[in-house]
Amino acid sequence: MSTDAQQQEQGGGGPDAVRDWQRWHEGRVVAVAAPYGPLSLTGTHWLSDHPEGRIPAVPGLWREDGDEVVLTAAPEDGIVVDGKPLTGEVRLGADRGPIDDSRVAQGERRLVVLRREGLWAVRDFDPGSPARHAFSTIEATPYDPRSDPVRDLPPVRRPDRTGGQRGRGRARSRARRGASPSRWKDRSTRSRSRSSPTARCGPSSPM
């Protein structure tokens, strides 16, 4: 068996693996650059930080009221709720669906109501954000069949009934069985893609 064939067999390479990685990478670029993708998020504003109800750069007056958020808007705010211009007051719950289906909008902006651990927030998604318009692509090293995303996982040792150790290496085998292009993620790359037009990925992490 040739060296290349051995590497493909041991590392999971081959034409199918390369195509899978390429599709995953292209899909990742599309998702990051989407109109309401991560680069369109301009801010998450916790209402507890704005007890007076005014959020900088966000139209309307927002205040908590138990299990709901009360939004008050004037015509000049340009706020639309459920597709209709809002003048006056409306009570809102947390948005559950896709970002572009959120109830509150102002032009192309989507103002998503969020509740987490009992706290209310408004997330501002703007397709015209500078970060999204500055983004071009995510740079990545070529696919390498020799790379192993779980090779550095420590062995798992669990005590058995006699007090000994068992289950060594089980985490690695489970991780390898579950390894797929959808798990090829690099948190540092995601954070860098927000602040720079081109994100980079390390040589050992396909992106």
> What is the residue extent of each domain of the chain?
1-35+129-148+186-207, 38-126, 150-183
Three-state secondary-structure class, residue 52:
coil
The answer, yes or no, to whether residue 190 has pLDDT greater than 50, is: no
Higher pLDDT, 81 or 194: 81
pLDDT digits (tens, 9 = 90+) for 14-42: 788 888 889 999 999 999 999 999 999 99
C-alpha–C-alpha distance, residues 141 and 201, integer Å: 7
Contact present, 156 and 167 (Cβ < 8 Å): yes
Stated pTM of the model: 0.65
C-alpha–C-alpha distance, residues 105 and 98, integer Å: 13
Cβ count near 106 (within 10 Å): 18
- Which class for 126: exposed (0-12), middle (13-18), buried (19 or more C-beta within 10 A)? buried
pLDDT at residue 196 in the model: 43
The answer, yes or no, to whether residue 200 has pLDDT greater than 90, is: no
pLDDT at residue 38 in the model: 95
pLDDT digits (tens, 9 = 90+) for 136-187: 999 988 888 777 555 555 666 665 555 555 444 444 444 444 444 444 444 4
pLDDT digits (tens, 9 = 90+) for 99-145: 999 999 999 999 999 999 999 999 999 999 999 999 999 998 888 87
